[in-house]
Structures are given as C-alpha cells and as structure tokens.
Structure 1
Amino acid sequence: MVRQGYVYIMASQRNGTLYVGVTNDIARRVHEHREGVLAGFTRQYGVKMLVWYEAHGDVPTAIGREKAIKAWQRAWKLRLIEAANPEWNDLWPTLFGEGLGVEDWLRLNFPDSVVPV
C-alpha cells in the first residue's frame, strides 16, 4: 500500500516565522508541532499554526515538493500561503475540530479503533 504524503507550512503568526515540513500523517505531525512534543525549530520559535498544506499520492513526491518549497524565497512562500489562505487562518480547527487534540479527533472519526492514551 502506497502511503500518501503531505507538505505543509506552519507559522508563528501572520507573516511570522515559517516552517516547511513533510509527513505521511498530517494530524499526528501538526499535533506534535502545536503541543511542542519534539524539541527543535518549531518549539523554539513558537510555530504552531497550520497555514497551508498539500496532499500528494506518495511520500517521495511530497519530499520532492518540500525540498523545492524550502529552496524558495520567503516572498514566494508567502504568496503560496496567501493564495490558499489569505487570512492566515489556523487550518487545524477546520481539519480536525476546534479544541480537539489528535486523540480526540481519532476517537470521533474512528470510534471502533483502539486509540492509545
């Protein structure tokens, strides 16, 4: 089974610090950024808002797109975000529900699955 890949951009605030990443599980990865689970750039700079993402049919394609976007000038990244999300809204509530953590979202969407606590 081919796993879908996602390229995403997180921000500290509108026109703030940006982080471009790639993952095969966007819910888990954005949750990790928002909660500061892992030490690193996003925790250090308070980058917690999901402002843009793009799904790809497989992870290698997503990795290629991530590398390309990381090489872009900042102005190009800002235009990419603003084309899809002109208000710089945090997309997490839209995708996963306001106030929901990833475990809550999983319980709501997959009630018969075992979700580790």
Structure 2
Amino acid sequence: MKNSYVYILTNKYRTTFYIGVTANLSKRLEEHYNETASKFTKKYNIKDLIYFETFNDINQAIDRENQLKNWHKDWKLNLIRERNPNLKTLEY
C-alpha cells in the first residue's frame, strides 16, 4: 500500500501557512520549491516544510487535510510545535 502525506509549508518569516496532501512528498516539495505547484505558495513565497503526517490511506490523508484547514492558526502552531518546537525547516 502506498503512503500519503499531509504537509504544512510556510514562508521564511513563519507568518503564512499552506496545507496540502500528496502521495509523493519529495516530488511535491520540489514543485513548491520551483514555484510550479500552487499560485498561493508562489505568491507568498511558501517553500519551507515544517510539518507532515504519513497515512496508509489517501482518504484518511484528505480528511486530515480538510480538518487542519478548518483549524485556527494557533491550533496549527501548537500542533506543529509538538514535533518541531522551533519551526525549523524539515528535510524530507
């Protein structure tokens, strides 16, 4: 079974967040870095991976993405800081 990922990207100032879902995280991150993935991420220069979750089922990943998109910014920050307290850019 193929893994799926929910991921959170941010800009260098950590002020704007983007939540996405993908079956190929490294490819998707490359697309964001090359500014070919999303108009939103290109406009706000969002390229830094600061959080991700792995799922065995794409439907679970999509459900989680939708859940996180409805959260308040503070809730998202608290979730991220549980695994990445300093909001450092993660390597994947």
Q: Is TM > 0.5 for Structure 1 vs Structure 2?
A: yes
Matched to 1:12, the amino acid is N
Q: Is 2:28–2:37's contact at 8 Å kept on the other side of the alignment?
A: no
Is 1:12–1:45's contact at 8 Å kept on the other side of the alignment? yes
Aligned residue for 2:41, secondary structure, equals: helix
- The reply on whether 1:23 has 2:22 as its aligned counterpart is yes
Q: What is the identity percentage for the equivalent residue pairs of Structure 1 and Structure 2? A: 36
How far is 1:16 from its partner? 1.2
Q: Which residue identity does 1:33 align to in structure 2?
A: H
Query: Is residue 18–residue 47 contact of structure 1 (8 Å, CA) maintained in 2?
Result: yes
Q: What secondary structure sits across from 2:64 in the alignment?
A: helix
Query: What is the TM-score normalised by the length of structure 2?
Result: 0.93
Aligned length: 92
Q: CA RMSD in A?
A: 1.2
Task: Say which one has the larger Rg.
Answer: 1
Which runs of 5 or more residues in structure 2 are unaligned? none
Equivalent pair of 1:14/1:88 in contact (CA under 8 Å): no
Provide the secondary structure at the position in 1 that maps to 2:37. coil
User: 2:59 and 2:13 mapped to 1: Cα distance?
Assistant: 30
TM-score (norm 1): 0.74
